[in-house]
Amino acid sequence: MRAILRRTILAIVAAVSVTLSVEAETRLRIAALHPMTGPQAESGRECADAIAVAAELLRLDFPSFEVVYLDTEGKPDVARLRANKAIDEGAHLLIGTFNSDQTLAVAQVSEQRGIPFVVSIAAVDGLTEQGYKTVFRNFPKSSDSAKQTLALWQELFRLLPQPPKTAVLLHVNNNLGVPRRDWLRKLDEGGGLPFRLLDTVSVDPKARDLSAEVRKALATKADMLIVVSLLHDAMLIRQEMIKQRWKPQLIVSWGPGWYEGPFLKALGKHAEGVMSAVPWGNPQTALSKRFHALFEKKFPGRQLNTNHYYSAEGLLIALDAYKRAGTTNQEKLAEALRETRITEKFTTGSVITFDKHGQNNDVHVSLIQNQDGRTVVILPERVAEGRLRWPLPH
């Protein structure tokens, strides 16, 4: 009798061990890489918060998974180290990273190690032009963003009784700002802009004082200020504009920073009226409404922006591929990502698919205006939440 009982217990233990082993093998481990400290920390934390909320929202619809959060510190070399460490510790898939330079570093690791990388936010063109087989981007390239942004500017100018005739550009000197500067210069030389570009001024995103750069831009006496910046330097630029009493007719950001929660909170009335041309979410989808309700519960009073929508969608893409692959095998995950087709999503655009380069081409830019401490989509009209407020309050 004891021998029978002993064999029964051993069989149960063996069955449980096999079950736990299978669960461990099939549980997807995702590494989310973002700048959680340093000048880009606020933006990185917004991305991480969005993924945490989306994970709770999506858990009922998808198989077992876990997300580990890693700090890139805003540095490409650290991003590379963190990506390698994540893979060494069992990550099956990477998502991130918010910053183009860090994303390029992680993409190299992804390709070398054969681990799929879902790029949620990064605009540098070259990312999907290097023949990578493991990199999948759900964010517009700078060149595509440029075309859409120009169309939005032209549409905006038609709404203005006296549109600006001249502009000056303040831009970060990295893989975000330099390509956009070059594109604007080229268009200006060919007469392709609805205004005349008087000058371009480079800024260091790590700088603590941008008074000289703002003074140089102010000296052009341009009607319109165009900025390509990150959150830290966006706040410095706007604060310096206030000190130097610079009140351009129009302020348009082409990138992050000027629509983000910390900027709106810190600048208060001085953030009002600023416009941003950025990829944005679609608050009208059923998934976005559920996401917004849960996010509001977790973070009362905080607004959703690009960082939240695209980070959440990056997780959705990863989980969708995992569910269809039915395994954590890296080759099968990559194959499933290539076959992605998602129509119920968080952002504008009708469907998420990836071309042979790993790029989703159905990603759209919207024009946002800061109004009463909140961000409001004003263009294009098909997704507009409100109307343009003009002239700018100063």
The CATH number assigned to the domain with range 16-140+284-364 reads 3.40.50.2300
Asked whether the predicted pLDDT for residue 57 surpasses 70, the reply is yes
Q: In what order do the strands lie in the sheet with 166-172?
A: 196-203, 166-172, 224-228, 250-253, 275-279, 365-371, 374-379
8 Å CB contact between 216 and 201: yes
Q: Quick one: pLDDT at residue 15?
A: 42
8 Å CB contact between 116 and 325: no
- In Å, the largest CA–CA distance within the chain is 96
Asked whether the predicted pLDDT for residue 319 surpasses 70, the reply is yes
Q: Do domains 16-140+284-364 and 143-282+367-383 have the same CATH topology?
A: yes
pTM of the prediction? 0.88
The CATH number assigned to the domain with range 143-282+367-383 reads 3.40.50.2300
Which whole number is the average pLDDT over 174-191?
94
| Domain spans, the chain | 16-140+284-364, 143-282+367-383
At residue 284 the predicted structure's pLDDT band, cuts being 50, 70 and 90, is confident
Pairing of the two strands 196-203 and 166-172: parallel
8 Å CB contact between 17 and 68: no
Asked whether the predicted pLDDT for residue 235 surpasses 90, the reply is yes
Q: What is the pLDDT of residues 78-129, one digit of tens each?
A: 999 999 999 999 999 999 999 999 999 999 999 999 999 999 999 999 999 9
Q: Quick one: pLDDT at residue 17?
A: 42
Asked whether the predicted pLDDT for residue 257 surpasses 90, the reply is yes
